[in-house]
Each structure stands twice: as structure tokens, then as C-alpha cells.
């Protein structure tokens, strides 16, 4: 059975959840990206790529609902996990604050180009989307964007960079993902795993 977990902020809770469910996966060393542990194999991927790996054949994964929706991945989601809670929000510099309806023609910096496009389409507002891969809060600070769409957890990063949350686009949580074919071909094994994880996280992690 192969698991793919996201490097970065969800990694330690993902691994801990599997451990609590009785699946001991040795964390990788020396920049290894695959670790074998008996009949289990642990793969490490960029958070944005985890749903893509699961869609294309890795049995099980854990990823944020933000990236699952952004990548529009065709995967099964048997369980929401009790970590990775945050939100995807639209934010702007406090000195140039306007309402969303006044954002026609604005440049929006984000990693979430799909979700941002859909958000503004729903509101019938045309904007220019600038794709960045991280440190999004920098873009309005140096004037290459008028607003950002990014993850907000504590709000510290926004505050530290003089940005104000204008509107929440979606609530985010870590999710358990299962490959559609694996769910059929490894039916019992996957069902047992989902039950064990459900039990392991029922009182939080």
C-alpha cells in the first residue's frame, strides 16, 4: 500500500495520524522522497501535487481541501481530518481598501489561480490573476499586485505585511484521499484503514 503525504506544514500531523492508526512509517532521511516500511511505502510530495498523485494511482494521501479543489482532482474523500484548519481569503493592503465589487481590473497575486478565477467569475468581476508559488504577501507590498488570495491561519502574516482580510473564499481542512481504483481493488484493506484512521482521530489528534 502506498501513501503520499505533503511536505511542509501538514506533514507532521499527517504522519502522527497514521501512527495513531497503527501504521508506523519511518520518516524519510537525507532528502529521500520514498521510504519503504514492510508492506507500506511512504511518498513525499509538494502539497499541491498530493491529490494529483492520488488521482493517478497512489492508494492513499492526505492534503488540504484547498489544494484538492484547486487541482480539481478526481479522488475519493472518505474523511475530513482534524488538522490543517484555516481559510482561503481575499486580502488587500489596509491603505487601499475597497469592496470586492470595486475590484474590476485589479491584479490578484495567488497560488490558487483556479479558485481565484472562479471566485471573481461568480461575482462577475474581471481581474488579472498573477500566479506566484509562495510568499504571496510580498506582491502587494512591492506594488506588483493590488490584492492577494491566500491561506490565512492565525492572520499573523497578513498583519505583519499590512494586509486586511476582505472576504473568506472557503474554509480549509486536511482531508484523507483515496484513489478510485484502489478503493475497488483493495476494498477491504482501504475500508479497514479508513475505519482505523477515523477511530484514531475521533477525539482530535
Site string for ligand PRP, 1-30 (x = CB under 6 A): --------x---------------------
Altogether, the residues listed in the chain come to a count of 205
Q: Least distance to ligand PRP from the beta carbon of 66, Å?
A: 10
Nearer to ligand PRP, 47 or 190 (CB): 47
Q: Least distance to ligand PRP from the beta carbon of 138, Å?
A: 9
Site string for ligand PRP, 135-164 (x = CB under 6 A): xxx------------xxxxxxxx-------
Are β-strands 174-178 and 60-64 bridged in parallel, bridged antiparallel, or unpaired? antiparallel
Q: Cα dihedral sign for 149, 155, 161, 163?
A: positive
**Could you give phi then psi for residue 157, rounded to 5 degrees?**
-65, -40
Nearer to ligand PRP, 175 or 178 (CB): 175
# chain residues binding ligand PRP, by CB under 6 A: 13
Residue 186 touches ligand PRP, criterion: CB under 6 A: no
What span, in angstroms and rounded, lies between the C-alpha atoms of 79 and 135? 30
Q: Least distance to ligand PRP from the beta carbon of 94, Å?
A: 16
Nearer to ligand PRP, 59 or 137 (CB): 137
Q: Least distance to ligand PRP from the beta carbon of 171, Å?
A: 14
Tell me if residue 169 falls in helix, strand or coil. Answer: strand
Footprint (CB under 6 A) of ligand PRP, residues 43-62? none
Tell me if residue 1 falls in helix, strand or coil. Answer: coil
Nearer to ligand PRP, 96 or 135 (CB): 135
Site string for ligand PRP, 115-134 (x = CB under 6 A): -------------------x
Partners of residue 89 on adjacent β-strands: 150, 168
Compute the 3-state secondary structure of the chain and give helix, strand, coil in percent, each to the nearest 5.
35, 30, 35
For 81-130, give the DSSP string: -SS--EEEEEEEEGGG---GGG-TT-EEEES-HHHHHHHHHHTT---EEE
- Residues near ligand PRP (CB under 6 A) are 9, 134-137, 150-157
Amino acid at each position: 500500500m502506498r501513501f503520499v503525504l505533503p511536505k511542509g506544514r501538514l506533514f507532521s500531523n499527517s504522519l502522527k495520524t497514521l501512527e495513531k492508526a497503527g501504521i508506523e512509517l519511518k520518516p524519510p532521511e537525507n532528502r529521500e522522497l520514498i521510504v519503504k516500511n514492510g508492506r507500506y511505502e511512504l511518498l513525499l510530495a509538494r502539497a499541491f501535487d498530493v491529490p494529483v498523485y492520488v488521482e493517478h494511482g497512489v492508494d492513499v494521501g492526505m492534503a488540504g481541501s484547498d489544494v484538492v479543489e484547486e487541482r480539481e482532482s478526481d479522488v475519493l474523500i472518505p474523511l475530513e481530518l482534524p488538522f490543517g484548519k484555516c481559510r482561503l481569503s481575499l486580502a488587500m493592503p489596509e491603505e487601499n481598501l475597497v469592496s470586492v465589487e470595486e475590484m474590476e481590473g485589479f491584479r490578484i497575486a495567488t497560488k490558487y489561480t483556479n479558485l481565484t478565477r472562479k471566485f471573481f467569475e461568480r461575482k462577475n468581476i474581471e481581474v488579472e490573476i498573477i500566479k506566484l508559488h509562495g510568499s504571496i504577501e510580498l506582491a502587494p507590498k512591492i506594488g506588483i499586485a493590488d490584492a492577494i488570495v491566500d491561506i490565512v491561519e492565525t492572520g499573523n502574516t497578513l498583519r505583519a505585511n499590512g494586509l486586511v482580510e476582505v472576504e473568506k473564499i472557503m474554509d480549509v481542512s486536511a482531508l484523507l484521499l483515496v484513489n478510485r481504483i484502489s478503493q475497488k481493488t483493495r476494498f477491504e484493506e482501504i475500508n479497514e484503514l479508513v475505519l482505523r484512521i477515523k477511530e484514531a482521530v475521533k477525539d482530535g489528534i
